[in-house]
Amino acid sequence: MTQFRGIHKITIPIPFPIESVNVFLLEGPPLSLVDTGLRDAASLETLWQAFARIGRKLEDLERIYITHGHLDHFGLAQTLVRISGATVFVHQQDADKVTHESLKSLEEEPSLLGMFLEEAGLPSVYHNYIRQEFLSIVNTFSEPVPEVATFPDGDEIACGDRKLRVVHLPGHSVGQVCFFEPGERLLFSGDHLLPTITPNPLLDLEAKARNGYQSLKTYLASLEATRALDAFHVLPGHGDVFSCPGSRIDAILQHHEQRSLEVLRILENGAKTKWQLCQELFCQLEQREVFLGLSEVEGHLELLEEKGAVNRQCAGNHLMFCRT
């Protein structure tokens, strides 16, 4: 239970380094869930128990609101649809992740992922591992939701006597949304804003190829848009509920400013590939963390190139970056 009437925070264990994910049960009506957890026994059992504590059943669920298309937030959705017949809502730009349509690009040859990893200078031994590991995790811990409804930025969700406004705040994911209730100044933030962890603005290769999407630049702009909402209480996708998000926004902005300076410092020693920068910035990355590290490196290089602080040059199939 949270301190907010009719809103129940449910913390679900997950077998990833972050250890748990928060979903929120909204009594409504309609009875709704913000995010779902993974498709696994622990998520399902935790939800059964949480519903029972307020005298409800999973069969009573009417709506599922997905903050973004990452599997710890939507993985159990289709299981819940089969149990309850609930409607799943997601932003249009993340719908392909929830339906698994986005996985098709990984099966193409040459894939956008393969070309990016080659350009980044990543040793070829990693390429197939990253693709297969990603596919394996997604298919193990999530199930495609064939039918989804989409909500646009600014849409309103009725939930009892509350109205939640859909706020599109891309960056961590291209279709990341938050739900804002202005009366109590509540913000369901998904992974956009977390109390202690700095969210990774994940590279979206399809969006980048389609319209030049820059995840970190977009994320930083979304943080400023979040400040303008004037939320007071934040109900995040991971960690504890917290208040006064302005200081957290400042800390994240400062973190990324320092990270850009670190990239420039490394480049003082000569031109580097993205992979070389990644290795120097993040020591001892596990294989499953390589794409996360490369996403952050890519974001900072894009910012620095735009400022004229960094140049790129081709070296065979790789890109090298140096200070101007």
161 occurs within a structural domain: yes
pLDDT attached to residue 150: 98
pLDDT attached to residue 311: 95
265 occurs within a structural domain: no
User: What is the average per-residue pLDDT within 259-268?
Assistant: 98
Which CATH number characterizes residue 58's domain? 3.60.15.10
pLDDT attached to residue 2: 62
User: What is the average per-residue pLDDT within 164-169?
Assistant: 99
35 occurs within a structural domain: yes
CA–CA gap between residue 87 and residue 85 (Å, rounded): 7
Return the SS3 of 228: helix
CA–CA gap between residue 28 and residue 76 (Å, rounded): 21
Q: For the chain, give the percent of residues with pLDDT over 70.
A: 99
- pLDDT confidence of 1, banded at 50, 70, 90? low
Half-sphere exposure of 244 (CA within 13 A, CB side): 2
One-letter amino acid for residue 263 of the chain: V
Q: Among 89-103, 119-133, 186-200, 288-302, name the one with the lowest average pLDDT.
A: 119-133
Residue 51 belongs to what domain range? 7-106+140-251
263 occurs within a structural domain: no
- Express each pLDDT in 277-321 by its tens digit: 999 999 888 888 999 999 999 999 999 999 999 999 998 889 999
pLDDT attached to residue 316: 87
How many folded domains does the chain comprise? Answer: 1
239 occurs within a structural domain: yes
- pLDDT confidence of 52, banded at 50, 70, 90? very high
User: What is the average per-residue pLDDT within 238-258?
Assistant: 98
What are residue 59's phi and psi, to 5 degrees? -60, -20
125 occurs within a structural domain: no
What is the pTM assigned to this prediction?
0.95
CA–CA gap between residue 323 and residue 226 (Å, rounded): 32
